[in-house]
Amino acid sequence: MDKRGGILMNRYEVGRLLGQGTFAKVYYGRNIKTGESVAIKIIDKKKVMKVGLIDQINREISVMRLVRHPNIVELYEVMATKTRIYFAMEYVRGGELFNKVAKGKLREDAARKYFQQLIGAVEFCHSRGVYHRDLKPENLLLDENGNLKISDFGLSALLESRRKDGLLHTTCGTPAYVSPEVISKKGYDGAKADIWSCGVVLYVLLSGYLPFYDSNLMEMYRKISRGEFKSPNCIPPEVRKLLTRILDPNPNTRITMAELMDNDWFKKTCKQFELSQSPQGQQRNKFIESSESESSSSTSSMATRSPVKPYLYNAFDIISLSQGFNLSGLFEKDVNSNLETRFTTRKPASAIVSKFEEIAMTEGCDFHKKDGTVKLKHSREGRKGQLAIDAEIFQVTPSFHVVELKKAAGDTIEYKEFCTQELKPSLKDIVWTWQGDQP
């Protein structure tokens, strides 16, 4: 079903065509039950299977489920028939950032705001083991409040995509935004490649044109490989210095994400602002543009002052909890499924955090928290380094939460033993049911 005015799965009314590519079309849609505006991406399954792109679709689904962030377009749910795959996604009304830049360079404060939001979202992706690999103004959307949203994860890569050398090797991206090491085809660090692309975006926002453009593609690649660009007078001196660090052709000396976020210009005149609300009207997490908010807590007093805000479960997440209705098997294989477990609880988020902090003290673990995640890192060295566990807290209702546990580092056997012998018994006071158990 891809015709305007049709009804999809008795759930969405499909309207005007928003855009299309070789294998997919995107339509404006409306949730029949809630009246919420959505974007419906319709993928022709036969076409993608014919050219061997089904793995790319699977990866896009996996990635979009991993990266829920205020500055990333949200995937609400995935549906499928024998011939098509449907993505119901957040509808972003403001169009592409490219359209704004096409009218001319932006003011410094506006460019900095978009850059801060871009870096905040990209850093979050990297923390989840996701590398976008095609960051450019055409893939950066603006909502009705002027906030940036990263879209199009079709070329993204997961941490597991790295070869034995620890690097990615697939050459992809848009030529004018791609880093030198990607062009060289010798393997590259996905995070460093994304940082380079962000630097090109910043240059474009402030100047209105590309730093390495040339009508001859090979000449443009030569400029990129040597990092040859000139900064116009409209770019402030401190930004020129920052761009020199970001657009360093040597990935080993290129600025890191931590260094970038600690840069004086990046943090300059930063103000706390709230991003747009979800279509359901529920408040998203705030992105606080200060070095203090970026640091995670490691003491109980800090935890008291800055409580964890649980993530919000949407309909797709809830459906995926049920094996009878889980569609993910149609698309992907979760290589870490045996290293993840979850439990439900009727306790508030504060009680969940307190329990994990108590476990950390008892078991000799370091305790950290950030956004809706608490982290335990065992002080004892194991067979493969220190064991680290992430616990993500999701709110279904104010009085009902789901907590997902997974190994972040260390030995798999030691992780399973720790969960069975220490973690699960210690959590019995707050657990309502473990996955697969009857309540």
Among 44, 55, 134, 143, which one carries the catalytic annotation? Answer: 134
Q: Is the dihedral of CA 350, 351, 357, 361 positive or negative?
A: positive
d(C-alpha 193, C-alpha 178), whole Å = 7
Dihedral sign of CA atoms 413, 419, 421, 422 in order:
positive
C-beta separation of 192 from 221 below 8 A:
no
Cβ(38)–Cβ(16) below 8 Å: no
Backbone angles phi, psi at 103, to 5 degrees: -85, -5
Amino acid letter, residue 148: L
Is residue 415 a contact partner of residue 389, using CB atoms and an 8 Å limit?
yes
Contact in structure between 76 and 316 (CB atoms under 8 Å): yes
134 noted as active-site residue: yes
Active site members: 134
